[in-house]
Amino acid sequence: MNSKSEASAAGQAVNSKRILSIYDLWVLGISNSLIWKCRTKAILNWMNESLTSNHLDVGVGTGYYLDHCSFPNASVRLGLLDLNPNSLAAAASRASRYAPETYQADILQPLPDQPHRFDSVSLNYLLHCLPGDLNSKSTLFDHLNQWLNPGAIISGSTILAEGVPRSLSACKLMNFYNEKKIFTNSADSLEELQYQLQSRYTDVELKVTGCVALFRTRYIPSTTN
Ligand X SMILES: C[S@@+](CC[C@H](N)C(=O)[O-])C[C@H]1O[C@@H](n2cnc3c(N)ncnc32)[C@H](O)[C@@H]1O
For 27, phi then psi, to 5°, come to -85, -55
Sketch the per residue contact string, 180 through 219, with ligand X: x for CB under 6 A, - otherwise.
----------------------------------------
Do 12 and 83 contact (CB within 8 A), yes or no? yes
Q: Which residue is nearest to ligand X (CB)?
A: 61
Q: How many residues bind ligand X (CB under 6 A)?
A: 20
For 19, phi then psi, to 5°, come to -65, -40
Q: Least CB distance from residue 217 to ligand X, whole Å?
A: 18
Binder among 80, 89, 129, 160 for ligand X (CB under 6 A): 129
Do 158 and 127 contact (CB within 8 A), yes or no? yes
Helix (H), strand (E) at residue 67: helix 64-68
3-state secondary structure of 212: strand
Using the rule CB under 6 A, is 32 a contact of ligand X?
A: no
Using the rule CB under 6 A, is 130 a contact of ligand X?
A: yes
Classify residue 96 by its DSSP letter.
Answer: G
Contact segment (CB under 6 A) with ligand X among 119-127, 161-169, 187-195, 201-209 equals: 119-127
Q: Which of residues 64-103 bind ligand X (CB under 6 A)?
A: 64, 82-84, 87
Strand partners, 213: 158, 208
Q: Least CB distance from residue 100 to ligand X, whole Å?
A: 14
Using the rule CB under 6 A, is 52 a contact of ligand X?
A: no
Can you say how many angstroms the Cα of residue 118 is from the centroid of all Cα atoms in its chain? 16
For 184, phi then psi, to 5°, come to -130, 80
Q: Contact positions toward ligand X, by CB under 6 A? A: 8, 11-12, 15, 59-61, 64, 82-84, 87, 106-108, 124-126, 129-130
